Amino acid sequence: MIRRLLAVWHARNLEFLRDRGSLIFTLLLPLALILGMSFVFGGPERAVFKIGVLTDDLGSIGHPFMSERYVDFIAMDDQAAAVRKVARHQLDLLLDQQGGAMRYWVNPDSPKGYVAERLLLQTDPGAQREPVGGEAVRYVDWLLPGILGMNIMFSCLFGVGYVVLRYRKSGFLKRLHATPITAFEFLTAQVLSRLGLILVVTVILYAGTSYAIGFHSAGNPALLLLIAAAGSLALIALGLTIAARFSSDELVGGLLNTLTWPMMLLSGVWFSLEGSPDWVRAIARLLPLTHMLDAARAVMLDGAGFTDVLPQLVFLALMALVLLAFGAWSFRWRTD
């Protein structure tokens, strides 16, 4: 028995080592994630609070609160836009000392804003609190689009990628290739099938969450559905592009994880990238999940209309078309 077990063990090890793509991703993916996180979240002091300051020059503000550690002070020039960021949990606090005395804006429903306000009042008990313009939303209201978007992302990438991979390894695609169907038609059918399922699930989650917690939604639900459809199409096409060519479980899994981790960290699922380095935000703008969440939050929290989110919709639609065309061009029916 031991000899048979060792023979199978040895054969499986050789199979894995000969799959160069899987071996490379097994070694490089954790290293890439560690290096990426060290660049994005590293540094000698990690800021806990993001605080906007209405000024052109942060160095000109001589207030003692400006010397607090673990606080990222961000210069702002548009008061209305900055106050809106406070209301939407993108900034924890907004300061203004242009008139001599310190004024500040805080979202009363923000836990980090509450702590930042206490720190400010420790250094300046006379600071004047200003009302936040517009309706101050809860953090859960800001977070909900990110959670739904993350669920869409995983369903699109892994739900489609592994299905096509299974079809190829089982020989189903080889038999299907003998029919008149083209690669583009097959992939389009996969896209439409997954899209319908995802939209139904997302609508159920949206309605159920609305009933359970009564979240804030100022925009048109039909426009939200359109944004979800455009984002899902782009993400499905991205997953199909990976599955269209490769036949290794480990390689496809590594590639899909390589796509999902940056989107979870940089697309604003859990936190705002306000105040992050320009290069981090530039990378985030290339990710489909970023555009989907930005558009969804604009509609849900600010009541944005179709024209307001049209740039994000165009980006997602173009990405879906380009990736689907590329996937059809590079599609392989066989494993050999």
Q: Is the pTM of this model over 0.75?
A: no
Task: Please provide the DSSP assignment of 23-65 as one string.
Answer: HHHHHHHHHHHHHHHHHHH-SSS--SEEEEEESS-GGG---GG
Residue among 178, 156, 315 at smallest CA distance from 241: 156
Comparing 40-44, 149-153, 212-216, 247-251, which segment has the lowest mean pLDDT? 40-44
For the stretch 63-115, pLDDT in tens is 788 877 778 888 888 888 888 888 877 788 888 887 678 888 888 878 888 88
Token pair 């969804």: residue: 296
What value does the mean pLDDT take over residues 203-211?
Answer: 82
- Which tokens belong to 235? 């993400």
Pairing label, strands 103-105, 128-130: parallel
Spatial separation of the C-alpha atoms in residues 26 and 29, rounded to whole Å: 6
Boundaries of every domain in the chain = 49-130, 139-329
Spatial separation of the C-alpha atoms in residues 191 and 189, rounded to whole Å: 5
Residue among 307, 283, 309, 300 at smallest CA distance from 231: 309
For the stretch 311-333, pLDDT in tens is 999 999 999 988 888 877 777 76
For the stretch 7-64, pLDDT in tens is 656 565 665 556 555 555 555 555 555 555 555 555 555 667 888 888 877 777 777 8
Residue pair 184/218 in contact (Cβ under 8 Å)? The answer is no
Other CB atoms within 10 A of residue 260 CB:
18
**3-state class of 68 per DSSP?**
coil
With both helix axes pointing from N to C terminus, report the angle between 288-302 and 249-266 in degrees, rounded to the nearest 10.
Answer: 40
